[in-house]
Structure 1
Amino acid sequence: MKRHILGLAGASALAIGLQTGAALAQDCSVNVGTLYPTSVDWGRPIAETALWVGEMINEAGGVDGCEVNMILRDDQNDGRVGVDAARALVDIDQVQLLIGTVSSGITIPILTSVTAPAGVMQMSCCSSSTRLTEIAASGEARGLWFRTFATADVQAAVAAMLARDAGIESITVVYKNDDWGQDIGRMAAAAFEAVGIEVHASIALNDAQPSYRAEATQALRDQPGALYLALYPTEGISFVREWLGLGGTSVMIGANSLRSDDFRTTVGLANLGDFVGTDTSSPRVPSAEAFVDAYAAHFGSAPSGPGLSNSFDAAAIALLAYHAAGRDATGTEIAAQVPRVTDPDGEAIPATVEGFAQAMAILSEGGSVSYQGATGAVTFDANGNVSAPAVSWVFDDSGMAEQRYISLEEVSGFMASIN
């Protein structure tokens, strides 16, 4: 199998026709929009994972017998760029399905101003803001919205669990000043307070400031016992260096957005010995273990970094739903087929080329399947949300290592106790 090396700049697009030799003899194709921040280090593997699924679907026979043409655009982790790229995919490339993106602050305006008004289905791997639940519940998303990543309240609750178990008595919350950061920052502060941890302050960081020294000084004023960081690597690196330079504590809890080699190497492993991160996790089931093995065989290394398993499942479920709806389907018709792909009573199918071929045969005959993927047997609620276990993780010489697995039952029980 070939691997696509992605290095896109600006809003330019790379249209990738995923040819797989003799597996596809047909002369039709379907365009699928793929929108991810490929110009940042943690975004490229997420996009590559989605493209890999396109290869597998083509090898299994394509969407309704047609070749999948994954059209990839780079949102540069910027809201304005992301909306423009999404409009190009919808208006120029005429996609009925858009897979992406990562940041909630980009996903929200795309959903409300581009995909939902145009009747295009949108499936995100990684956007976690609860604002998206509100949009779906209000009807504004028109039933076109799904995500394979649990909402931000899971990570917020797990951060409070870790802080409580570590004996932390006071904390300051530092968050990115966008939809995602405001959402998770607010929920994290409430969760800390619910377990008896004093929250000294909640401080917002704006993009592209030349310095975060003023914010670091403000955070240091009350001498908190720890920091909670809901930041992306760029501002996270700048803020943490200022914070440590001013003598701030090295005890930090971070959201999964800091699960980045750039953050680890630039801040320095010596300064991150007391850092612990949170993330949602795949359940400990055979399909999740099979994904790790398949990923390593395809890319040459085990999956490391945020969103990879979620990206795989987002692309797989969306493309199988497209197959079930038919090559000429609208976004509304594709979205209507998602329950047939994730039916708990359907035939269990593995996330392999053979499994995809089996699923497509069953779906073509009017049946339903229970997709068993990288994050387990995925099911969605009425607002396009999923539930998930969680993990804590740390930085080490090899990159990032899991510290503790927290089952779905434990996560749900803890969230109920603090709510």
Structure 2
Amino acid sequence: MINTTDSTNSSDKNPYLGSLTVLTSLFFIWGFITCLNDILIPHLKAVFTLNYTEAMLVQFCFFTAYFVVSVPSGYLVEKIDYKGGIIAGLSIAGIGCLLFYPAASSHSYPLFLAAFFVLASGITLLQVAANPYVTILGKPETASSRLTMTQAFNSLGTTIAPYFGALFILATAVKTADEIQLLNTDELSTYQAAQAAAVQIPYLLLAAVLFLIAIVFVLIKLPKIEATEEQVSGGADDVHDSAWGYKHLVLGAIGIFVYVGGEVSIGSFLINFLGEPAIAGLAEQEAGKYVSFYWGGAMVGRFIGAAVMQKIQPGKALTFNAVTAALLVLMTMFGSGQVAMWTLLAVGLFNSIMFPTIFSLAVSGLGKHTGQGSGILCAAIVGGAILPVVQGLFADRIGIQQAFFIPVLCYCYIAYYGWRGHRV
């Protein structure tokens, strides 16, 4: 059983509202940072003249951190509690942002990849601490709705980030390798300095924000959460010695793997896809602004979903959204022009409830194993590292448009999980 005690105002009719409000800021900031990857990928692809597979190493390094760091983060949170985990996560993410400064100055792609890994390690620790925290702060039957609502503010960050990134990071046009060779020494130095500054300034600002939020969390009080040995759900915990024994959790971890992989794959290729002559032929900066529609759809869908799932079973809503998303991506694969463009952007609306719904369904009934289950689910976010690289391999061989069959397969599995796989 999970006990919560709020030392600040236990007599309040809604004692966790203040805590949930503060936690919502975390969902916003890590959504903002994660979505900036979609802007940096085409920028770094052009600056370092990379192919699609090499460019997807950004997502590989970023989301590999979830696999490497999630389980240790779970143990760390048990030692220093959820508040300590949040503070540590913010600090590590801030250090990761600072590493973008030397990476841009030295024009080093490997150092960029290292910075992405450190940044994602901090965000991983934040997720391991914050996601289960939100599901516990309130009634169990509304956990999916509550987590969907906080994730809506995560989507607010992902909606704003592409426009912000397009204005600052993609503002300076990237020259081709042939154009760079024509520059003299002074021109080359000026060009490289401009490209470096385009990345350095936004990430220095993000580092300052992260450290500031960490200080805020040091100063405020949050409800203390402790896992006890008491059993829940009619003694269900006696059945298994660890979270791995619960089939619906394991299937949920696969669901998180394919969901994040599919969502990130689409977002990572959007700018290049919208730049295709047969689709929209947009310049990078203009295409970057359209990415906001993809993530903005997820934000709108989460606000709607938080209300709808007060009335409709989460599993049914998950199945409907997954089937619709799969159909939209298929229309993108076999369409062209505005149809292919908008059907792909519309997928974001139906992605909206998937992560919080899969997460809350997967940890349902775990009792004292909830912390371990959260670590397993966050580790499964490594799908965002692997599937974009796989899609990149196919994009280099069969074309960027046909490579979207990868997300289609992902959504088919998610539909199965919502229909049957989540049952305890």
| TM-score of the pair, normalised by structure 1 | 0.24
| TM-score of the pair, normalised by structure 2 | 0.24
Higher-RCO chain (CA-CA 8 Å, sequence separation at least 6): 2
Determine which structure has the larger helix proportion and give its number.
2
